[in-house]
Amino acid sequence: MVIATTHVKSLRRNVAWMFVGNGFYAFCQWLVLSILSKLTTIQELGYFTLSLAIATPVYMFMNFQLRSVLITDAENRWEFSEFFTIRIATTTLGFLIVLMIGAFFGSGTFFTILLLLSAIKAIEAFTDIIHGKLQQQESMSMIARSLMIKGSGFVLSVIIGIVVFKSLISGLLLYFLLCIGFIYFIDYHFLVRVTGKIKLLSKSITRTILIVGFPLAIVRLIIALNGNVAKYIAEISLGTEKQAIYSTLAYLIVMGDVLIQAIGQTFIPRISKYAKEQDWKSVKRLKFYFSIICIVTGFSLYLASITAGELILKILFSAEIAKYQHLFSLLMITGILVYYSSSAGQTLTALKIFKPQPWIHGVVFTVNMICLLFLVKPFGLTGIVYATITAYVVRIILSEWLLYRHLYLRGTIS
């Protein structure tokens, strides 16, 4: 009983740290969008959001979800140096891919913003795998502190760039330089404190890591494309300004999802541990708690959007964006579905049900694309939201069906 109580307290403490750290970091990322919407042109805001939409899917795929593989490696089959070496190689390739995309589709200010954001994403990829090791050791407080420092640095860099140098590009360059310092003086320092002197590079790499991570990489790529394909279509069909408005509003869902992902990162190791012990009752209990947290989070944001949506958008962004209050409320309905589906997806990952996930997300992506092609032209930005809602309903149905087969039936048999 004492051990169980200690585990509950430890889980709550970890959830609290990850909630605070990731919540603050997501808030800072939103604050950057808010600053851009108030202090720059809608065109420059559009370049920023489009650059993120291009770079994010590439890095999500090239990260190979090594962090998830690392934190679910309860048997310690692989060395951390293998993960870090793979991350260096895949991140370098990801950076080159983004450069090629940027060189083909854009130039001038847009290309420069894309280049800097891609470089920042590359540094964040190294930070991510270090955080994975800290998470495996349940050192959530260190991860939270690192994220809070980085988030503050991002906001300050953008403010200095825009206010002092009158340039978003200057702000992004400053933040890139700060990220280099952060990863050495903060993240690596925390890693050494937890693990002692640790080897970062490996001459040999176990291919099994890539084999295990590849299905997850496909999943994350499809998820990223699902989240960003609407922005590509909005850019092509409706123009940069409409794309900027949609992307800015949609980021409020992303903010919430960052919190859900953070909470999930504390549940995943524990669910994985209980599954290894075949304690299916505990697995189902944690899955239920996680799902309730997701639903409550989404519903709270929806209530805020219908009661004070216009005021919220004026405060957070600008009067121009506040005109889209109805779109904001529809997006918050989408948020409920996004958060719940995220809990189901992370539970699948915790149970090491990797291979079926690409098929689920492939179906969801196909549904999303078909709906977008038919709904954007007659309904504009509202059509994008309708398509997203349809896609996430399909994702929830497929994910829960898979969980029922692999978890609930197995738990009943056990």
Where in the chain are the domains?
Answer: 2-413
pLDDT(1) > 50: no
pLDDT(409) > 80: no
Burial of 1 (0-12, 13-18, 19+ CB in 10 A): exposed
* Whole-number pLDDT of residue 269: 79
pTM for the model: 0.81
Q: Are 64 and 217 in contact (CB under 8 A)?
A: yes
Mean pLDDT over 304-326 rounds to 90
Q: Are 215 and 355 in contact (CB under 8 A)?
A: yes
Please provide the size of the chain in residues. 414
Mean pLDDT over 130-145 rounds to 91
Residue 276 one-letter amino acid: K
Per the prediction, the chain carries an average pLDDT of 88
Tokens 């519903």, located at residue: 299
* Whole-number pLDDT of residue 203: 67
Lowest mean pLDDT of 54-63, 69-78, 186-195, 298-307, name the range: 69-78
Mean pLDDT over 396-407 rounds to 88
Alpha carbon distance 161, 308 (integer Å):
32
Mean pLDDT over 1-25 rounds to 70
Tokens 């239920």, located at residue: 288
Q: 176-181 — which CB contacts under 8 Å span 24+ positions?
A: 176/116, 176/119, 176/120, 176/123, 178/153, 179/120, 179/123, 179/124, 179/127, 179/150, 179/153, 180/123
Q: Are 329 and 311 in contact (CB under 8 A)?
A: no
Task: State the SS3 of 205-240.
Answer: CCHHHHHHHHHHHHHHHHHHHHHHHHHHHHHHHHCH
pLDDT(4) > 60: no
pLDDT(186) > 80: yes
Decide which of 152 and 402 is more confident: 152
Tokens 């003086």, located at residue: 185
pLDDT(359) > 90: no
Each residue of 70-109: pLDDT tens digit?
887 777 788 888 889 999 999 999 999 999 998 887 778 9
Alpha carbon distance 354, 390 (integer Å):
24
Mean pLDDT over 230-259 rounds to 89
Decide which of 263 and 391 is more confident: 391
Each residue of 197-230: pLDDT tens digit?
777 777 667 778 888 888 778 878 888 888 899 9
pLDDT(412) > 50: no
Lowest mean pLDDT of 190-194, 196-200, 313-317, name the range: 196-200
